[in-house]
Amino acid sequence: MRIMTVCLGNICRSPAAESVLVHRLERAGLDDVTVSSAGTGDYHLGRPPHEHSVAEGEGRGYAFTSRAAQFAAEHFAEADLILAMDSSNEADILALAQRPEDEAKVVRLGAFASDAADEVRDIPDPWGLPRDAYVRMYDQIEDAVDGLVEAIENGTVEEVLAAQRALR
């Protein structure tokens, strides 16, 4: 399985989600899953993740290797699952979809959160906010990633995707 995490600028949320997911997949022994990240905007192309995102992530034991890239229609062919951080990112990604199969790959990461039965929450963009916004961001990402890893292990990822497609 190939997973891509996507936010706006690819320096805060999506590289954090990528790092958490890589760590949790390794811990679960799921070595047949690859993870990458991108942003819907071109604001920070080639830059490393935001310093607060890195500091909080490294404090939690995560490593960062990616540089900001922009999501493009070609990425649909490179990913089996595309995880948007919020509804705006999701809409931007879906606008680039050229086929129903492309749209079917897109879901918000929050769909895998422990409280997703109530509603799918966006992971708010912490850019420009104090460091505690990054703490909250990681708390949300870790919860949702744990649900995603469980869904991969249980073979229920497609069920989550189908449920979210039904809500569109």
pLDDT digits (tens, 9 = 90+) for 28-37: 999 999 999 9
The dihedral through the CA atoms of 113, 115, 119, 121 has a sign that is negative
CATH, residue 105: 3.40.50.2300
pTM: 0.96
> Edge to edge, what strands does the sheet with 106-108 contain?
34-39, 2-7, 81-84, 106-108
Give me the mean pLDDT over the 147-162 stretch: 96
Q: Mean of the pLDDT values across residues 76-87? A: 98
What total of structural domains would you count in the chain?
1
Helix axes 13-28, 51-59, angle to 10 degrees: 20
Query: Mean pLDDT across the stretch 54-77?
Result: 97
| Residues known to be catalytic | 7, 13, 125
Instruction: List, as own/partner pairs, every contact residues 153-161 make where C-beta atoms lie below 8 angstroms and the sequence separation is at least 24, other chains included.
Output: 153/28, 153/30, 157/1, 157/81, 160/107, 160/111, 160/112, 160/116, 161/81, 161/104, 161/105, 161/107, 161/111
Give the pLDDT confidence of 84-106 residue by residue, as tens digits: 999 999 999 999 999 999 999 99
Please give the C-alpha separations between residue 163 and each of 7, 20, 82, 106, 155, in angstroms, as whole numbers: 22, 24, 15, 12, 15
pLDDT of residue 165: 86
What is the residue whose two structure tokens read 């919860």? 143
Chain-centroid distance of CA 114 in Å reads 16
| Residue 109, pLDDT score | 98
Q: Which domain holds residue 151?
A: 2-167
